[in-house]
A and B are shown apart, each in its own frame.
Chain A
Amino acid sequence: NAGVMQNPRHLVRRRGQEARLRCSPMKGHSHVYWYRQLPEEGLKFMVYLQKENIIDESGMPKERFSAEFPKEGPSILRIQQVVRGDSAAYFCASSNGDSPLHFGNGTRLTVT
């Protein structure tokens, strides 16, 4: 009965590289949310996806960030040309549409 699985747990990238964060939702969940947590801050909503569709991306930076949730496989949050300010913990959460969110353990991105 696996929960929300995120990998990798820790990711180090040099400035200018690409970061790919993966999230497998709980079994039976088709709604995926991505949040970013900066130090000393709460979680900030980034994007809400259902299978093959972006429902709400109002929290996504306009450039370099993208997200997908394909028909098969995990949801991917992609950050191109990372900068130091992208260093944060990125959390994925899933639900079945009626339930509260279940969160993964996060991916901690460090940009050097």
Chain B
Amino acid sequence: AQSVTQLDSQVPVFEEAPVELRCNYSSSVSVYLFWYVQYPNQGLQLLLKYLSGSTLVKGINGFEAEFNKSQTSFHLRKPSVHISDTAEYFCAVTSGGSQGNLIFGKGTKLSVKP
């Protein structure tokens, strides 16, 4: 069975600092990997996805993530965060062939302080 672990439930950082949100997954088959962002009282918005090809994936709002198959990780990074990046971030996995039936991690709350 597939599962996703987000190692940090909360990450506080100062504005303009770099940030890394960690995500590890377990799966016995090839996977698709996603990061979604959820702003308060809203639905989830896709930040980026890895389906195949280059292991470094660039997304919206200056975020990027790197797929590391040997470490089964898909950590999300941004070199300089803004106050507006304050939100909850979810890592998700699904087996190859479908982008639909997602298994989500429990989320990481990113809090950017001035």
Interface residues in chain A, defined as those with a beta carbon under 8 Å from any beta carbon in chain B: 4, 6, 31, 33, 35, 40-45, 48, 56, 91, 93, 95, 97-106
Interface residues in chain B, defined as those with a beta carbon under 8 Å from any beta carbon in chain A: 4, 6, 9, 34, 36, 41-46, 49, 90, 99-107
Could you count the A-B residue pairs with CB atoms below 8 Å apart for me: how many are there?
A: 58
* B27 shortest CB reach to chain A, Å: 15
Contact B103 A100, beta carbon cutoff 8 Å = no
Contact B46 A100, beta carbon cutoff 8 Å = yes
Looking at chain B's contact residues, the main secondary structure is loop
Q: Which of B34, B43, B46, B105 gathers most chain A CB within 10 Å?
A: B43
Contact A45 B99, beta carbon cutoff 8 Å = no
Known contacts A42-B104, A42-B107, A43-B104; A4/B99 CB under 8 A: no
Contact B43 A100, beta carbon cutoff 8 Å = no
Contact A100 B44, beta carbon cutoff 8 Å = no
CB neighbours of B105 from chain A (8 A):
42
- How far is it, in angstroms, between the C-alpha of A26 and the C-alpha of B20 when the chains are bound? 32
